[in-house]
Amino acid sequence: MPTVLVTGAGRGLGFELVRQYAADGWAVLACVRSPAKAFELAALAADAAGRVEIHALDLADHASIDALAAQLAGRPIDVLLNSAGTMGQGSFAAEGIAFGRFGSSDFGDWMQVLRINSIGPMKMAEAFVTHVAASQQKKIVALSSVIGSIERNRIGGLYAYRASKAALNAIMRSMAIDLQKSHGILAAPIHPGWVKTDMGGPRADIDAVTSITGVRNMIARLDAERAGRFWMYDGSELPW
């Protein structure tokens, strides 16, 4: 039975990742900041015949990451999947492109966005690299965003979120180069699409089931030739 670790598992795309992987027979390490408040996740775990384990994890707290890595020492993880993310204070779903406009920057909020979206996945990879290297599939994947594509930026705005996802893409590119050489690990960022979640809002293009079905297909297809490139959930390649 392969094992996947999913961050941000309590809602949205993270929750759908847990649901689909568990339904497919995987062992799922579902990570959330506050397990006691993750009621839907707890219900899913209760119906998953032991395939879903819920673990406390705060991507902004490196001690929390180290503690979980130590707790899971010796446990092979086939896919380390960084799904947790934030756009910061405010709401793109409610405000649209007006959210994160020039002149409205809260730089304390910027630091939190970067800590969760960019630094968190890097810390996760460093903390769990031996777990992934000990597995059969050896994959590290981060849910990124087309918003992080510099070439595709035609509308401006969303400064903190754009910066954090562009940084994440750069991190995943370097990680793919370094870890394939040192550990045989395949790494890549995947854009899940504009999805109807709390973050994406009700006007988004697709639902979570469609998005994650595509994301999982891309992860299954990830090989040495596809590693280190920027993919969309539908299998198309995105420019950096």
Residue 29's pLDDT band (cuts 50, 70, 90): very high
Domain hosting 171: range is 3-232
Looking at the domain assignment, is residue 63 inside a domain?
yes
Looking at the domain assignment, is residue 114 inside a domain?
yes
Q: Write the CATH number for 134.
A: 3.40.50.720
- Residue-level pLDDT at 91: 64
Looking at the domain assignment, is residue 96 inside a domain?
yes
Number of domains in the chain: 1
Looking at the domain assignment, is residue 86 inside a domain?
yes
Looking at the domain assignment, is residue 240 inside a domain?
no
Q: Which residue has the higher pLDDT, 104 or 227?
A: 227
What confidence tens digit (pLDDT) does each residue in 113-138 have? 999 999 999 999 999 999 999 999 99
Total-model pTM:
0.95
Query: Within 13 Å and on the Cβ side, how many CA atoms surround 11?
Result: 12
Residue 70 pLDDT greater than 90, yes or no: yes
For residue 212, give the amino acid letter: I
Q: What are phi and psi of 174, to 5 degrees?
A: -65, -40
- Between CA 43 and CA 15 the distance in angstroms is 12
